[in-house]
Amino acid sequence: MHQLTLAEIARGLADKKFSSEELTKVLLARITQLDPQLNSFISLTEELALEQAKAADVRRANGESGALLGAPIAHKDLFCTQGIRTSCGSKMLDNFKAPYDATVVSKLAAAGTVTLGKTNMDEFAMGSANESSWYGAVKNPWNLEHVPGGSSGGSAAAVAARLLPAATATDTGGSIRQPAAFTNLTGLKPTYGRVSRWGMIAYASSLDQGGPLARTAEDCAILLQGMAGFDPNDSTSIDEPVPDYAAGLNGSLQGLRIGVPKEYFGAGLDPRIADLIQNSIKELQKLGAVIKEISLPNMQHAIPAYYVIAPAEASSNLSRFDGVRFGHRCEDPKNLEDLYKRSRGEGFGPEVQRRIMVGAYALSAGYYDAYYLKAQKIRRLVKNDFMAAFNEVDIILGPTTPNPAWKLGAKNSDPVAAYLEDVYTITANLAGLPGLSMPAGFVDGLPVGVQLLAPYFQEGRLLNVAHQYQLHTDWHTRTPTGF
Ligand code: GLN
């Protein structure tokens, strides 16, 4: 039963092959048995899950239907869940029980999902390896000595290991697409504003976006359907109708214009990944797509710009964790300054402290123009590159990551080496565009992802292309040994 996708679960529940309660019990037992190897969950919510599963079974018995009614999922532990610890992977929030549900959580609950628990993540979503979590590193089910990617590494490892069919995640600079690539999943970062950020603990507000992680494009369509839509509580949420994503999966790819940026294939890309990307291009050509070489000339400036903007916003967002209102408070503060200093010094880990310092520096008087303002100008250039490219092509295709998942600890002493791994993903966040990663093969037994980018609000196009690709390839069906 644990091998079922969301789409298969919906059919099984509709045909009364099993109940949501039965399925939930199987998955909870599987998590208890297998997760100690992976560390993908921070909290399990067994009681809530069984309650929601029973309620979904009652709703189905009363004639209700719906692709998510009775579907077990988990939430990345930065989505606020009422009365349940919402830690953000940090000691700072280890004692924090959210007083309300994030919009994503309440929308999915209303659609009938069953919350199995909260998944592990890099502290405050800062990282690409899920090693900065206060709750310990997450392991990649494809090779337990390797990282699962980050910052949504817990959601990715759990879904890849078949502990559950799908999970929510967030992507500020790649944290849905990169762990999807590292664990053989399909992950979608929607257009900025497509999914409400209300109740999603902020890292870098102008870049953060929630989205689905699942094994197939079809399942991403189902989960995104439950997450997307206008929310008056989020001033950056966009009041655009949400299309029926599942209905759009079967469009023909005949004549689809795919742009392949020449800058994507420079030094730094593992040549074995380059080969797999070429194979995926051939596969899409067989389905009728037309390939065109394009250029994104400002791509080389994206990493430095992102690593100024994201820390700058983080330094502001994280100032609320001061030991006064919520979160960790130090013992016996001598005065207010001591309270701030020690609460933050004890509550935040080294990567978070590093980013706060970089961000505060870049925003300070005298440096603002030199760093922050310049980074914002680069951001506009990156966006303009995409706008020009999308005048000529329908989607852009390339690798999701330059290398496969690295060994645990391999980049711990060199944060910049880890930052450089984000080269293909962060441009979409800077521009606010939707992006998807899907399985494209293996290198040394480790999964490789191919990334697709589309114009604003064309999530449906990404899902359509990925679904058609998955009808003709079987990379996404491979299961890690031992799971
Ligand atoms: N690796 C990037 C960072 O650390 C992206 C993280 C994310 O998307 N949350 O900022």
> pLDDT band at residue 408, thresholds of 50, 70 and 90?
very high
If one residue of 200, 420, 421, 426 were mutated to test the ligand 1 pocket, choosing by the most ligand atoms within 8 A of its CB, it would be 426
| pLDDT tens per residue across span 3-44 | 999 999 999 999 999 999 999 999 999 999 999 999 999 999
- CA distances for 317 relative to 180, 219, 321, angstroms: 27, 32, 9
**In the sheet that 210-214 helps form, which strands lie side by side, from edge to edge?**
41-44, 114-119, 72-76, 166-170, 210-214, 186-189, 435-443, 446-453, 395-399, 257-261, 290-294
Please report the atom of ligand 1 found closest to the CA of residue 172: 8
pLDDT tens digit sequence for 463-478: 999 999 999 999 999 9
On whether the CB atoms of residues 89 and 120 are closer than 8 A, the answer is yes
Q: Which atom of ligand 1 is nearest to the CA of 421?
A: 1
Calpha distance 14→8 (Å, rounded): 10
- Distance (angstroms) between ligand 1 centre and the Cα of 189 equals 13
Ordered structural domains, the chain, with CATH: 6-252+436-477 (3.90.1300.10)
CB 360 within 8 A of CB 317: no
Pocket test for ligand 1, best of 122, 155, 172 (most atoms within 8 A of CB): 172
Helix (H) or strand (E) holding 197, with range, is none
CA of 12 to the centre of ligand 1 (A): 37
pLDDT of residue 338 exceeding 90: yes
pLDDT in tens, 96-122: 999 999 999 999 999 999 999 999 999
Among 203, 318, 352, the mutation site with the greatest number of ligand 1 atoms within 8 A of its Cβ is 203
Task: Quickly count helices (H) and strands (E) in the chain.
Answer: 15, 11
Nearest to 8 by CA among 185, 189, 214: 214
Task: Please tell me the distance between residue 204's alpha carbon and the centre of ligand 1 in angstroms.
Answer: 9
* Catalytic residue check, 205: no
Band of the pLDDT at 411, cuts 50, 70, 90?
very high
Q: Which two tokens stand for residue 267?
A: 């030094």
- Tens-place pLDDT, residues 199-217: 999 999 999 999 999 999 9
364 is catalytic: no
CA distances from 196 to 153, 232, 454 (A): 21, 9, 20
Q: Which residues line ligand 1 (CB under 6 A)?
A: 125-128, 151, 171-175, 203, 310, 422
Contact predicate 221/470, CB 8 Å: no
Which letter, b or e, does each residue of 458-468 get, where b requires 16 or more Cβ atoms within 10 Å of its Cβ? bbbbbbbbbbb
Looking at residue 272, its pLDDT comes to: 98
What spacing in Å lies between the alpha carbon of 151 and ligand 1's midpoint?
A: 6
Residue closest by Cα to atom 5 of ligand 1: 173
175 is known as an active-site residue: yes
Give the mean pLDDT of 246-250. 97
What is the rounded distance in angstroms from the CA atom of residue 445 to the CA atom of residue 142? 7
Residue 87 clears pLDDT 90, i.e. is over it: yes
Q: Which atom of ligand 1 is nearest to the CA of 207?
A: 8
Catalytic residue among 132, 133, 151, 196: 151
175, 280, 315, 343: which one is catalytic? 175
Query: What atom of ligand 1 comes closest to residue 122's alpha carbon?
Result: 9
Instruction: Please answer whether residues 396 and 385 qualify as being in contact, where contact means their C-beta atoms are separated by less than 8 angstroms.
Output: no
Gap from CA of 130 to ligand 1 centroid (Å) = 10
Catalytic residue among 40, 76, 106, 107: 76
How far apart are the C-alpha atoms of 23 and 27, rounded to whole Å?
6
